[in-house]
Amino acid sequence: MSAFFISLAVFFFYGIFGASSLPALTDARVVEGAKKEGVVTYYTGLNLVAAQKLIGAFEKRHPFLKIQLARHGHVQLRTKILTEALTGAHHFDLVSMPAIELQLLKKRGILASYRSPEGEGIPQGLKDEEGLWAAIYITQFIVGYNNRMVAKEEVPKAWEDLLRPQWKQKIGLDPDAPLWYASLTEYWGKEKTVKFMRGLADQKPHLRRGYTLLTQMMVAGEFPLAIVHAHKVEEMKTNGAPIDWVKTVDPVITSAHSIAISERAPHPNAARLFVDYILSKEGQLVLHQAFLVPGRTDIPPLVPSLDQGKLKVHYVQPGLAERYDQYDKEFHQIFRAGSP
């Protein structure tokens, strides 16, 4: 889909859900409290472009508030928050990261319950039953490929196709992907998943941290295949990148990137105001422009290929948090053993 038609789609949605036509968000008492606080500290793994768009739109709607942004990878974010909790330094107001990571913080009593009035738009399964987090968008683990380097007839159709001899040393992989491994284990069973992962490690993949970086390297021709996120491939395709992704893998592991408020938030009302905004149609449409797949079901994906109904989706289950450390250990053992 061309950039022109993408822009037209965004214009269409704003014509229906434009900011001027939206009802006021949030209880008036929360707004008054936020005005007194004046600032909100936001920890996130959200990509910089999407984060800047979101912050700009929020501050335009609420000019009395400023967002203090801290961006880190998900593992680094979790470590930072846990370290702050241990030392009694409570700096952040809210955080957005994969729901499985938030479950780990929930177990430590670090998150506060807040049932946003906008949370009604988020379906069950994409929000915590106790009101501790709610999905703002979802990410899909898929096989991306450079279509100048991979012939049409050679494009993998299943995860197992990555184990073909022709792809040895030609696959990009994030070394911090235990979430993908854990969810495959849940879907396929332990034996099949471990066998596949060991085979993949034997392929000597290029281990590079960060899915955006992996996608950029694939575009640049550093390797023809990579395990990346579907929305990032679609975004780069729109900008003319020679890449695409496999829609037929079973399953498409799908993770909810969710938002939560700190139990010790220095600015709790401002944090609630931000959560209300990001879960509203207005806030979700800002993420929609950044090619993210909104958590709300009343906003369709920007391009048809991201439609969940057309993929063999398996959502990451929050219960995996109970065994996450073990999955993390197993994943890293497999890929250390298979590294050059």
pLDDT of residue 2: 45
pLDDT, tens only, 75-124? 889 999 999 999 999 899 999 999 989 998 999 999 999 999 999 999 88
Mean pLDDT of the chain: 89
Average pLDDT over residues 28-49: 93
Residue 75: predicted pLDDT: 82
Angle ∠(216,220,222) on CA atoms, nearest 5: 95
Confidence of residue 26 (pLDDT cuts 50, 70, 90): low
What pLDDT, on the 0 to 100 scale, is given for residue 257? 94
Nearest Cα to Cα of residue 303 among 238, 252, 257:
238
Domains and CATH numbers, the chain: 3-137+255-307 (3.40.190.10), 139-253+311-337 (3.40.190.10)
Which pLDDT belongs to residue 337? 64
What is the maximum span of the chain, computed from C-alpha positions, in angstroms? 63
Query: The tokens of 135 are what?
Result: 């999905």
Within 10 angstroms of residue 78's Cβ, the number of other Cβ atoms is 22
Q: Is the pLDDT of residue 174 over 90?
A: yes
Mean pLDDT of 151-180: 96
Confidence of residue 339 (pLDDT cuts 50, 70, 90): low
pLDDT in tens, 252-306: 999 999 999 999 999 999 999 999 999 999 999 999 988 889 999 888 888 888 8
Percent of the chain with pLDDT over 90: 75
Task: Please tell me the least confidently modeled range out of 8-17, 121-130, 245-254.
Answer: 8-17
Q: CB–CB of 300/307 below 8 Å?
A: yes
**Mean pLDDT, residues 192-218 taken together:** 96
Rounded Cα distance between 100 and 256, Å, is 8
8 Å CB contact between 140 and 292: no
Say if strands 39-44 and 94-98 run parallel, antiparallel, or are unpaired: parallel
Confidence tier at 8 by pLDDT (50, 70, 90)? very low
Cβ contact 1:238 at 8 Å: yes
Confidence of residue 160 (pLDDT cuts 50, 70, 90): very high
336 band by pLDDT with thresholds 50, 70 and 90: confident
Q: Give the C-alpha separation, 252 to 308, whole Å.
A: 9
In this predicted structure, the answer to whether residue 23 has a pLDDT above a threshold of 50 is no
- d(CA 277, CA 293) in angstroms, rounded, equals 16
